[in-house]
Amino acid sequence: MTDTTYGDYLRLDRILAAQEPRSDAHDELLFIVIHQASELWMKLCLHELEGARRCLREDNLDPAFKMMARVSRVQHQLIQSWEVLSTMTPADYTRVRPHLGSSSGFQSAQYRLIEYIMGNKNPKMTAVHEGREPDHARLTAAEREPSLYDEALRVLARRGLAIPDDRLKRDFTQPYEASDEVEAAWLAIYRDPETYWDLYELAEKLVDLQYHFQLWRFGHLKTVERVIGYKAGTGGTPGVPYLEQVVAKTFFPELLTVRTAL
């Protein structure tokens, strides 16, 4: 067996050479490292979410719970990264911004893939990546895949809970729409957790994912607000107003409304 060093195994030569500031601004390295590290964390999130979805499809819930819990912890790391980036002042950012061109986090294919597996499908977001393969191909394929929540509802149906067919067999390229019948199924679980303990845990793991994802979005919003105010984003988005709309979006609507019904 060859003698593999720490640096060899982690390919540190490639990773640590990937930061190439385009200005003499001191804070540009911070800006690059935060975003590159975030992309690595998102790669892990996708790995875990795809694994969790596969386990739900196979009725193998315990490993799915572990994977989903791990994603929630990774999301905590992503949330904390905004705290570090927010040490960049408006004056610091104005020295970096001219060198960003039209690049924007809005163009992150991995972020969009996470949203798709969580259920927020949007063909317009896929179109942003036209001409950039393999990102466009991955997003196009992800549009057609059942989301994590779709697979969770199939688990409920296989356990005998009344999930309507129009939620089990639907056009997965479209965003999920709330259903009174689905809420009633979750309500039965929440009212009798001892009988449905693993399904109750599934519900809470999904809520935890949604909670941390929204905190991540909110951290992004407040960091952008703090650093650039209400200027337009580099990718042509409206900036803070766009992020405010995004923060309000949820993935698993019945898991929130069921709390009111209890």
Q: Locate tokens 């729409």: which residue?
A: 177
Answer yes or no: is 33 a known binding residue: yes
Q: Which of 72, 104, 100 is nearest to 220 (CA)?
A: 104
26 vs 20, 31, 87, 94, 241, CA distance in Å?
12, 10, 12, 12, 29
57 known ligand binder: no
Is 35 annotated as a binding-site member?
Answer: yes
Residue 79 labelled as part of a binding site: no
Which stretch of DSSP H or E encloses residue 93? Answer: helix 90-96
34 is in an annotated binding site: yes
Tokens matching residue 116: 């798709």
129 known ligand binder: no
Rounded to 5°, angle at Cα 31 from 7 and 90: 160
Query: What does R_g of the chain's alpha carbons equal in angstroms?
Result: 20
Residues 6+ apart with CB under 8 A from 78: 38, 41, 42, 216, 219
114 marked among binding-site residues: no
User: Among 97, 111, 108, which Cα is nearest to 232's?
Assistant: 97
Residue with tokens 């935890």: 208
Three-state SS at 15: helix
> How many Cβ atoms are within 10 Å of 214's Cβ, its own excluded?
17
Output the known binding site for substrate. Answer: 31-35, 93, 97, 234
Output the known binding site. Answer: 31-35, 93, 97, 220, 234
Output the known binding site for heme. Answer: 220
